[in-house]
Structure 1
């Protein structure tokens, strides 16, 4: 998967501007016109000064008629109901902070390199020398699994494979996101489809992805991409993967796309892959890249977070499941104030509360 509200009007109403009138008396007739002009100029200067002083600035605090305090902010539009930051908070043409992080920062690059290095160590050091690979466990949860009771099959005679998501997991959509930054907020499915069809040379591999994938293939493990990109644009996706150094792929075998009429969930496709291969590692930038159970509608934001660290799923991170950073879009960008910050952990500056 980052809007603002101007309260300048409220602040101005609370100030209660008052005017003053200059009186002119006993003025000689010949000088009257000049005095009137001088007086008017003085009024204008005083009024201009008062108006400048009345313009609210971010941080100013005003008391309303009912005794409540109002503080001026820099907001220019209402925040989203969820409280989550969106691209709407940034004017068109200015790169949103989440994009600055993912596509421009050394920190995001380092996180990606770290994830791919951990994946490679897991596969190369822990699985390669196992004599009886038939007893290695798949990391795809079985159909009867739950988030609190995950279950996995052993490999048997199936060849080993690693399954990756595509977008922002192995492929950075630099062209599409640069266009989104220029335009401002709002997602258009038609524009995304046109991007898939024309933007194959405006992508780049996620740091560490191409080298790690080449090494995995060198170890005799099959690399498979399971993506929600449309099957109708398969040729363009193949072209993008090849140009980023992430190919080759074979449609229907090592590249699995979503049929246009199918839902976006990936479990059915994962289970289909698991019939032919033993999936020993998965990489993605959304929890749905590991199980659709994470996206259940009745799963609250705190519960979803809790399942990743306080259930039997926790040991999978870094040992079969490898997540990549993505603060730009997706299922992780949700949650209101009390969902993201537990009430017993929220803090308010005592100095502010005394005002």
Structure 2
């Protein structure tokens, strides 16, 4: 049994089923005090510095007594617990948590397998048994659609196709992101272009992607990749897809890329694809992989979230639109405190409340 069939089978089965010390300082600060005292007597004593341990007491040159504690931050001025330190950005050479999740965790792998199993079940079971396939509707929003009033066209005799984004939807950019982890935060377009040109052998397929894409093609359905990668590096992108077991592709036909002078949206390319094919499913890791309407500049963060579940868009998820996890980069990583957490749902620990 093929891996994708096994995944789909499992999916179907699951659906049927205080003291007298003058002062106390953090250990790092105490080290500074003791080191100053030791340096002033070094020529006289020439002894090794004592090891600093929590609980030990030392006397400074001016007669003050300090005790080393295990604190890593000074207590709050009101005597309450120490305020937590502001999380620092991951040091260059370490792997940020979001990369640990997407590229290293079993959880991310399981989510991807789940999405591809759902996609395959939808296409292979829900669509192929339609008696009149000419009445199947495209899942590409029409030009006059809005997020609150989505519209679709009936496909007629156009051949069926599934449209995928590339990066972190079908292709994991392991080489580029490992370099990003070593360097630390910050994106450089020139480095990304050089990656496109030289990193075709440092990629892997998203779990479930290669098997599902092969099965879709086996059902006689065309697979098309619609990516914001540069058209000037098309041959390298095609090679990367081949190396990950996702090819073959034909540039300009089944691999559609952004012209260097064009904006980053995908709708125009989607509409052109929909003129030739009946797009029965789409897969992506950003909402913009389904419609540019999600990325309108005047759309607040909370509204953007709500449109996915509180409008007529909601029934599309898992039934034509399939999204993959990506906490590493993209349009979804934004929003201030009151945007991400509504004020009526924010909580403060009563134990830390000021009197």
TM-score bracket, shorter-length normalisation = 0.7 to 0.9
Q: Given the superposition, is the C-alpha separation of residues 52 and 191 from structure 1 closer, same or farther in structure 2, using an over 3 Å criterion?
A: farther
Cα distance per residue 1:74-127 (max 9 Å; x no partner) = 3365xxxxxxxxxxx111011000000000000000000000000000000010
CA shift for structure 1 position 269:
0.3
CA shift for structure 1 position 147:
0.2
CA distance in 1, matches of 2:66, 2:293: 58
1:57 matched to 2:72? The reply is yes
CA distance in 2, matches of 1:122, 1:76: 42
1:101 is matched with: 101
2:59 is matched with: 46
Alpha carbons 1:56, 1:72 under 8 Å: kept: no
1:73 matched to 2:84? The reply is yes
CA distance in 2, matches of 1:47, 1:279: 77
Alpha carbons 2:163, 2:279 under 8 Å: kept: yes
- Greater RCO between the two (CA within 8 Å, min separation 6)? 1
Normalised TM-score (structure 1): 0.81
CA distance in 2, matches of 1:264, 1:176: 20
The equivalences for 1:215-254 within 5 A come to 215-254=215-254
CA distance in 1, matches of 2:259, 2:303: 31
1:327 matched to 2:331? The reply is no
Alpha carbons 2:142, 2:152 under 8 Å: kept: yes
The structure with the larger Rg is 1
1:177 is matched with: 177
In structure 1, stretches of 5+ residues that fail to align are: 1-10, 20-36, 39-43, 78-88
Alpha carbons 1:234, 1:257 under 8 Å: kept: yes
CA distance in 1, matches of 2:259, 2:196: 15
2:348 is matched with: 348
CA shift for structure 1 position 164:
0.1
Alpha carbons 1:57, 1:72 under 8 Å: kept: no
Which SS does the other structure have where 1:282 is aligned? strand
Alpha carbons 1:163, 1:224 under 8 Å: kept: yes
CA shift for structure 1 position 73:
3.0
CA RMSD of aligned residues (A): 2.5
CA distance in 2, matches of 1:282, 1:137: 13
CA shift for structure 1 position 160:
0.3
Q: Given the superposition, is the C-alpha separation of residues 101 and 50 from structure 1 closer, same or farther in structure 2, using an over 3 Å criterion?
A: farther
Alpha carbons 2:163, 2:225 under 8 Å: kept: yes
